[in-house]
Amino acid sequence: QKEVEQDPGPLSVPEGAIVSLNCTYSNSAFQYFMWYRQYSRKGPELLMYTYSSGNKEDGRFTAQVDKSSKYISLFIRDSQPSDSATYLCAMSESGGGADGLTFGKGTHLIIQP
Amino acid sequence: DTAVSQTPKYLVTQMGNDKSIKCEQNLGHDTMYWYKQDSKKFLKIMFSYNNKELIINETVPNRFSPKSPDKAHLNLHINSLELGDSAVYFCASSQDAGASMAMADTQYFGPGTRLTVL
């Protein structure tokens, strides 16, 4: 079983809709959870960072972590065409980062104008 | 004023050749990484390195070797290139864990190097 599972999509929604992106994982030692956004032919850029369980909000983006279910989510409110990209969840065991990040395969999101 | 830069952006080469990809970060970070993103967009850690420790993902062939001339640079050398090495390679960096746990995992990625082996 892969460590991090993420539906690759594509997920297509109309502009203004609420988008829900999810990942599940199997390694209970993961404590640090991130969402990255990657535009075509660009490097990933960090969107949200969460430690342990709970919610975190930043503008139109909300990240949720449920460690008991090994499930993380990213919600995008009032979605815009510029949000069209691939969204990658990532996680790690230690805050030191030395072991690198374990990524999901990414969900390709399309926001239709 | 690019934070993490990589050269070249595109690299096309023949099987069996040896090539290098360069990475530089101007963020003052202590840890640098190389990731490989395959044709299915799966991003996987290859190496992480700071001035104290090199951590190698055990699945990486020994044809791949990182070399760091100084803290701001981590180059990737690949010997005897194979068709399966074709991918996009991303360099990333992060601040040392001693500064802040929250900052340590905030990895900044370069734009990627698209390697095609013919």
What is the full per-residue pLDDT of chain A (113 aa) written as tens digits? Answer: 568 999 888 999 999 999 999 999 999 988 889 999 999 989 999 898 888 888 999 999 999 999 999 999 999 999 999 999 999 999 888 755 556 788 999 999 999 99
* Alpha carbon distance B109, A37 (integer Å): 11
**Distance of residue A87 Cα from the nearest chain B Cα, in angstroms:** 11
**Helix, strand or coil for residue B101?**
helix
- A with B: how many residue pairs have Cβ under 8 Å apart? 76
Question: Cβ of B102 and A103 within 8 Å?
Answer: no
End-to-end Cα spacing for chain B: 34
| Residue of A27, A38, A87 to mutate, interface with B, max B Cβ within 10 Å | A38
Phi, psi (deg, nearest 5) at residue B101: -60, -40
Q: Is B43 within 8 Å of chain A by CB?
A: yes
- Give me the sheet containing A71-76, strands edge to edge: A4-5, A19-25, A71-76, A61-66, A54-58
CB contact under 8 A, B105 and A95: yes
Asked if B104's CB is within 8 angstroms of A96's CB, the reply is yes
User: Could you give the residue ranges of the DSSP H alpha helices within B1-118?
Assistant: 101-104
* Residue B46 to residues A12, A21, A82, B49, B71, Cα–Cα distance (Å): 32, 26, 31, 10, 18
Beta-bridge mates of residue B77: B20, B65
pLDDT tens digits for range B53-106: 787 777 889 999 999 888 899 999 999 999 999 999 999 998 865 545 555 557
Kindly list the residues from chain B whose CB atom is less than 8 angstroms away from the CB atom of residue A43: 4, 90, 92, 109-112
SS3 A80: coil
Residue written as token pair 């990414």: A106
A83 backbone dihedrals φ, ψ, rounded to 5°: -80, -10
